[in-house]
Amino acid sequence: MEEKGRIGIPRALMFYRYFPLWKVFFEELGWRVIVSDGLGKRGKLVYFEDSCLPMKLLITHSMDLKEKVDHLFIPRLVSLHRSYIMCPKFRGAPDIVRLATERTVSILDETIDLRMREHSTLRALLKTGKRLGVTEKDGKRAFQKAERFFLNFQKGWEDRINGLPLKQVFHLESPAPAKNEEKPFRVAFIGHPYNLFDTDVNKDILSFARSLGMRIITPDGLSEKEINAQVSEFSKEIYWSSGREIVGSLFHFLSGGVDGVVFLTSFKCGIDALLQEFIRRRLKLKGGVSIPLLVLSLDEHSGREGLTTRLEAFRDVMEQQKIRNPKHEIRNNPK
């Protein structure tokens, strides 16, 4: 198929969950997908507005792409769940980028709001396709293929994040390893996808965790039923879909199945700040936890050395716990 043009996707925010779906969809329509590079050692953030580091990275990556593509794909994410909403900054993200780029590049910003059928992912991508001159029939065909690829990609997720270099996890041409080396520790890493997998946010902490003998488990493998089982008893509803996933998965893993839990948060994230307080109070009511829990707060000033030192100490705590409890059996294995 003849290339129709270039669509840029910033390596930020929900790129770290939905990129496989988005990439295959646009490629099926004949568009070449260009992804921004990471900051690297010499990269500099664009300080357009005072926000959390992930949002600053969205602006920085968008600025990097604007001269290289015909369109930027930055959907207006209102809700990715039929009952709950995203952080308000997600719905304003296309507008912030439009101001930062001074309207010098076209932005594909259709709304995705799963609470309303007309704003579902399918309808949003069909509207995006229409802007690109695609018929609804071709748009549906492309979406169906992209959805099949995405679901298959998710099945090999745990093997990918444990068997591939972290910077290759979203290289779709890299197949998931058939079998990973066994590790002495199973550790659940909890947080927003961009905190977990953006190496510019977390200083590639997952690679270091693997080198310490940790097999990484993430909430991606949990069902909505398993998440709801942990939050349904709370007296107050958690209205943010990401917040429910974080709290539900954290308490799911703290109940068994892993040797430790690491919660990665953004320093200026209001949602994360509230969740941390909520989790502390909940743990106090439960009388603490028997599984080691580490909370790491991240921003542009976080140093890799400080993070790795804390992770090494965390590994030592898990090791001591295994020595004290040699007959400890992993329960509620999420696999």
Q: Has residue 334 got a pLDDT over 50?
A: no
Q: Which residues of 81-96 are buried (b: 16+ CB within 10 A; e: fewer)?
A: beebbbbebbbebbeb
Of 36-45, 66-75, 263-272, the least confident: 36-45
Band of pLDDT at residue 142, cut at 50, 70 and 90: very high
Q: Assign 6 to helix, strand or coil.
A: strand
Q: Has residue 290 got a pLDDT over 70?
A: yes
Q: Give the residue extent of every domain in the chain.
A: 6-154, 167-324
Q: Which token pair is 239? A: 């209205």
pTM given for the model: 0.90
Q: Has residue 65 got a pLDDT over 70?
A: yes
Q: What is the CA radius of gyration of the chain?
A: 20
In the prediction, which pLDDT does 40 show? Answer: 62
CATH class of this structure's domain 6-154: alpha beta
Q: Assign 87 to helix, strand or coil.
A: coil
Same fold, 6-154 and 167-324: yes
Q: Has residue 332 got a pLDDT over 50?
A: no
- Closest by CA to 247, choosing from 222, 268, 216, 215, is 222
CA gap 306, 309 in Å, rounded: 5
Say whether domain 167-324 belongs to CATH 3.40.50.
Answer: yes
